[in-house]
C-alpha cells in the first residue's frame, strides 16, 4: 500500500520503464462536486500497487507518466479514470486501450462488465464482494483491498490477449479509431459543453438555450464553490 509521497515517487520511478501501465480507481461521487478519488490501483509486469489517495492526494507525477509518448494506458470502462486525468493535468494518456471497447471489437457483447471479460478471455473469476462498499472508510478491510487489487491485476494480461486478437483480425486500426472517438466524447462531456446534458433542452429556441446555458453555468459555479453534487 502506497501511503506517502516518497512511496509514490518510488512507484512512479519503477513505472517509468514500463511501456504498458494498467490502472483502475475506487471513488465516491454521491456527495461532492467532483468524484472523490479514494484508491488508485496500478499494474504492470512485476508491479501491483494500491495507492491510498486520501493519504497521497497529489498524483500529478503519475498522471503525467501516462501522458508521455510511447506509453499505453490500459483501463476497463475508463470514463471516470479519463476524467481524473483530464482534471489533473488537462491532457490525455498518450495511448489509451480500454478492454471493454476491445472486447466489443473482438467478439464479445458491448458494453461488457469486467468479470464477464475476464471470464471470457482469461477463463478466470473475479472478486465481486465489495461492489457497494464505502471506499472513504479507513482502515480498509482485507476484503476491500483484495477486491481493489482484483480490479486491476488482470488488465495487463487482457491487453496482451486482446491486442493479439485484434492484430490477428486486422482490427488494430479500428481500435485506434474507436479509442480516439471515445476520448473525444469523454473530453467533451467532462471539459467542454457539459450543460448540453441538461434534460429538456430539445425544442428550446436559441434565446431559451442561452438562458439555460447561463443558468447552468451559475448553478455549476455555486456547486463547485460549495463542493456539492
Span 199-206, mean pLDDT?
82
Q: Can you read off the three cell numbers belonging to residue 109?
A: 457483447
Alpha-carbon span 43 to 155, nearest angstrom: 8
Indicate the pLDDT class of residue 24, thresholds 50, 70 and 90: very high
* pLDDT of 32: 64
What is the domain partition of the chain in residue ranges? 5-192, 197-229
Choose the CATH number for 5-192 among 2.40.50.140, 3.20.20.150, 3.30.110.40, 3.30.420.10: 3.30.420.10
Confidence of residue 107 (pLDDT cuts 50, 70, 90): confident
Question: How much helix, strand and coil, in percent to the nearest 5, is found in the chain?
Answer: 50, 15, 35
Length of the chain: 229
153-189 tens-digit pLDDT? 999 999 999 999 999 999 999 999 999 999 998 888 7
Strand order in the sheet with 36-44: 47-52, 36-44, 20-28, 72-75, 95-98
Least confident of 32-41, 61-70, 91-100: 32-41
CB 89 within 8 A of CB 67: yes
| DSSP helix/strand/coil, 19 | coil
Radius of gyration of the chain (CA): 19
What is the per-residue pLDDT for 35?
Answer: 78
pTM of the model: 0.85
Asked whether the beta carbons of 63 and 104 are under 8 A apart, the reply is: no
Amino acid at each position: 500500500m502506497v501511503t506517502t509521497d516518497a512511496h509514490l515517487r518510488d512507484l512512479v520511478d519503477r513505472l517509468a520503464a514500463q511501456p504498458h501501465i494498467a490502472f483502475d480507481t475506487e471513488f465516491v461521487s454521491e456527495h461532492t462536486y467532483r468524484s472523490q478519488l479514494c484508491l488508485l490501483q496500478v499494474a504492470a509486469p512485476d508491479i501491483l500497487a494500491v495507492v491510498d489517495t486520501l493519504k497521497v492526494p497529489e498524483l500529478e507525477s503519475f498522471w503525467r507518466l501516462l501522458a508521455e509518448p510511447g506509453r499505453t494506458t490500459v483501463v476497463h470502462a475508463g470514463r471516470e479514470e479519463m476524467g481524473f486525468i483530464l482534471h489533473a493535468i488537462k491532457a490525455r494518456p498518450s495511448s489509451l486501450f480500454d478492454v471493454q471497447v476491445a472486447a466489443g471489437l473482438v467478439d464479445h457483447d458491448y458494453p461488457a462488465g469486467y468479470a464477464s471479460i475476464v471470464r471470457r478471455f482469461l477463463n478466470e473469476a473475479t472478486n465481486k464482494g465489495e461492489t457497494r462498499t464505502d471506499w472513504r472508510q479507513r482502515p480498509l478491510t482485507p476484503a476491500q483491498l483484495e477486491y481493489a487489487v482484483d480490479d486491476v491485476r488482470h488488465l495487463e494480461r487482457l491487453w496482451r490477449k486482446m491486442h493479439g486478437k485484434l492484430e490477428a483480425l486486422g482490427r488494430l486500426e479500428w481500435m485506434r479509431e474507436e479509442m480516439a472517438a471515445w476520448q473525444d466524447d469523454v473530453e467533451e462531456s467532462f471539459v467542454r459543453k457539459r450543460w448540453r446534458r441538461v434534460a429538456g433542452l430539445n425544442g428550446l429556441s436559441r434565446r431559451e438555450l442561452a438562458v439555460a446555458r447561463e443558468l447552468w453555468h451559475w448553478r455549476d459555479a455555486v456547486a463547485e464553490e460549495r463542493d456539492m453534487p
